[in-house]
Amino acid sequence: MRSGEARALRWEYIDLDAGIAELSWSLTEGTFAHGCRGTCGKKTAGSCPSRRLELAAGMEWAPLEGHHVLVRPKNGTARQVPLTAAAVAQLRLLRETDEGPNPHGLVWHRPGGSPKTNVDDNVHLRAALSLEGVDRPDATTHWLRHSYVTLSEHAGIPWAAYSGVSGHSSPEASDPYRHTLTAEGRRVVESLADFVDS
């Protein structure tokens, strides 16, 4: 999932019994504009009593909280993502132990119930990596998308199968996400060396 898709995911879009999550929205931050045409005397548009959210023309969106809005996913198409048994178990545990307010029904939210930000996601990822002894202060959740595509390719999963989960509309869209694994590269080089030597 893209970070915005994960942060927009609400419990109503998850069927834990079927092991499916529907990704139909993405969370983003809109920009406030003066709704008074600058007559309110406030310096920032966010303080204007008549403030309004500005988003790209023609974009389908729904307000969530403050400047946080839900928009349709990047390619405009909702998709269903199959959940592994381990993911279902973790989601069940999360739902059972979520004690804080959750006015928007979000799967992942801040302790007070407000939407998480991309910065929150990255901070939590880096903390999880650090707990496992991985020191990558530059890690981002977007790296997980690269890992998913790379590992799918190296596992021999056809693009048509894994693209439904990644949301890539063409093989070319997946190209920047493909990376050579060191072990796989070593195996290829050794195989070529064996072939040349024989």
Q: Given 131, 164, 181, which residue is the final one in a domain? A: 131
Q: How many domains does the chain have?
A: 2
pLDDT tens by residue, the chain, 198 residues: 889 999 999 999 999 999 999 999 999 988 899 999 889 999 999 899 999 998 888 888 899 999 999 999 877 778 888 888 999 999 999 999 998 899 999 999 999 999 999 999 999 999 999 999 999 999 999 888 877 777 877 777 776 666 666 666 666 666 665 555 556 555 654 665 676 677
Please give the residue range of the domain that contains residue 121: 3-131
Q: Given 90, 108, 131, which residue is the final one in a domain? A: 131
Q: Is residue 108 part of a domain?
A: yes
Could you give the CA distance from residue 132 to residue 149 in angstroms, rounded to a whole number? 22
Q: Is residue 38 part of a domain?
A: yes
Residues 47, 93: one domain? yes
Q: Is residue 136 part of a domain?
A: no
Residues 9, 43: one domain? yes
Residues 45, 67: one domain? yes
Question: Residue with structure tokens 């204007």?
Answer: 48
Q: Given 131, 154, 189, which residue is the final one in a domain? A: 131
